[in-house]
Amino acid sequence: MVQRPKGCSDLYGEEAKIWKYVESVIDATMEKYNYTYIRTPIFESRDLFHRGIGDSTDIVTKETYDFVDRGGREMTLRPEGTAGVVRSYIENKLYGDANQPVKVYYNGTMYRYERPQSGRDRELTQFGVEVLGSDDPLTDAEVISLAVNIYQLLGLKEIKVNINTLGDNESREMYRKCLIEYFQPCIHELCEDCQNRLLKNPLRILDCKVDCDNEMLKNAPKTIDHLNQVSADRFEKVKEYLDILQIPYEVNPKIVRGLDYYHHTVFEIEAKVDGFGANNVLGAGGRYNGLCHQLGGPNTPCVGFASGIGRLVLALKKEKVSIPVSSSIDLFLLYVNEEEKKYAAYLTQELRMAGFIVDTEYTSRSLKGQFKQADRLKAKFIAVLNHQDLDQNEIRIKNNQTKEEEIISLDALIYYLDEKLASYDIDSLSENHDCCQDDCSCHDHECSCWHSKD
């Protein structure tokens, strides 16, 4: 039997409904913040990610899915969303749009070849935002507040924002030299990756997963102690705007982020979630003013963040957050013979087009089996079609909450369902129906087919 690849998941049933709900909250929040949706290819030129993310990062050196297509082109499945958005911004000349800054969000699959574990897969779904064309510290604060508000709207509590700054190019270069001087005498005590990073990108040493508990990393120089005045003043402005937006935060000098393109503000957002352990980060991001120019576009200040939906859904489950997703349908239509089946097909279509969630029988079950299927679908109303009622332009319908049965005109069915569904209590749905006998073909609605068995 062919099985799904390691580190990938099938999404269906109740889990899929939770994901769709989370995505609907994301979409609604983005609309309020005036961010528009952008979709970029799942695979792009290998050069895009190696130039954009940086060839000293773990994502590029160890985790990308690279392949050569039939035309001999070197391609990569996207490991993150930012580089593709910036490529699209340049290629489509969005920098020439009078409406600046360009504020976009994405929601799609990313691919990283890493060891699968809880909340971390090889195929992952991320949503994120990018603001391109503004260097205003207010945009940094807005991006952070947007992420925080999404987590809070979904029901997570005790959200914590950790922020830091890497400073501008001048500050970052000063800090780079300081780190090299600090680590060089004892670099042999660190892992092989860190030894290779020393001259390429020593900031990556601070983000090492292998040596994270090493005292050298804990006592390393801090970025905020090596800022020029411009960078220090800018960081103060970001914090001031976060205060105005009422977003609590904590300055954490240990945050450097794993990608090469960050400058100035970097941040991580945590939620206190039982079962997540020490790694409770749900989303992260920062400012990357040099990436657009690095990829062949104009000098464009940018800021953004990304968050894994799978990890977010896991957090909601572990926190036992109530997700308002419906697992019921409005009406299930039952029938016995072919003529009634044809009318069921017609009526199902009409009611669906009117906005109702309606289903009927497709597997030739007995009437008893159809009642059981209606229960499995948690149908709020059920109706058995029969030719006597249909000849009178009527339908007999049963409320699965009150057990009340009514005969109504087919012409009034839409109005009837509208009125009744408005006050329906889903929690009161019947657990079990039983028919008088397995092969019951009775059209007498006083038959026990219409009643739950005592």
Q: What pLDDT does 176 receive? A: 83
- 360: Cβ contacts below 8 Å, ≥ 6 apart: 332, 333, 334, 335, 344, 345, 348
DSSP secondary structure of 318-378:
HTTPPP-----EEEEEE-SSHHHHHHHHHHHHHHHHTT--EEE--S---HHHHHHHHHHTT
Q: Report domain 13-168+228-318's class.
A: alpha beta
Can you give the pLDDT at residue 352? 97
Residue 55 has a pLDDT of 54
Secondary structure letter of residue 92 according to DSSP: T
pLDDT at residue 182, as a whole number: 86
Q: What is the pLDDT along the chain (454 residues), one digit of tens a residue?
A: 999 988 888 999 999 999 999 999 999 999 999 999 999 999 999 999 887 665 555 555 568 899 999 999 999 999 999 999 999 999 999 999 999 999 999 999 999 987 766 657 899 999 999 999 999 999 999 999 999 999 999 999 889 999 999 999 888 888 888 888 888 888 877 888 788 877 777 877 777 777 777 878 778 888 888 899 999 999 999 999 999 999 999 999 888 765 667 889 999 999 988 877 667 889 999 999 989 998 999 999 999 999 999 999 999 999 999 898 888 999 999 999 999 999 999 999 999 999 999 999 999 999 999 999 999 999 999 999 998 999 999 999 999 888 899 999 999 999 999 999 988 765 555 444 444 344 444 434 334 344 333 3
Q: Where are the domains of the chain?
A: 13-168+228-318, 329-450
Q: What is the pLDDT of residue 109?
A: 96
What is 397-448 written as a DSSP string? Answer: EEETTT--EEEEEGGGHHHHHHHHHTT--GGG--S----SSTT-----TTSG
Say which CATH topology domain 329-450 has.
Answer: Rossmann fold (3.40.50)
Give the residue carrying structure tokens 């790694």. Answer: 279
Whether the CB-CB separation of 133 and 102 falls below 8 Å is answered with yes
Under 8 Å between Cβ of 433 and 375: yes
Decide: 55 and 61 in contact? Cβ < 8 Å: yes
In this structure, how many other beta carbons lie within 10 angstroms of the beta carbon of residue 75?
Answer: 17
pLDDT score, position 193: 79
CA–chain centroid gap for 291, Å, is: 25
Count Cβ atoms below 10 Å from residue 359 Cβ, excluding itself: 17
CB-based burial of residue 65 (10 Å sphere; 0-12 exposed, 13-18 middle, 19+ buried)? middle
Token match 């603001």: residue?
Answer: 131
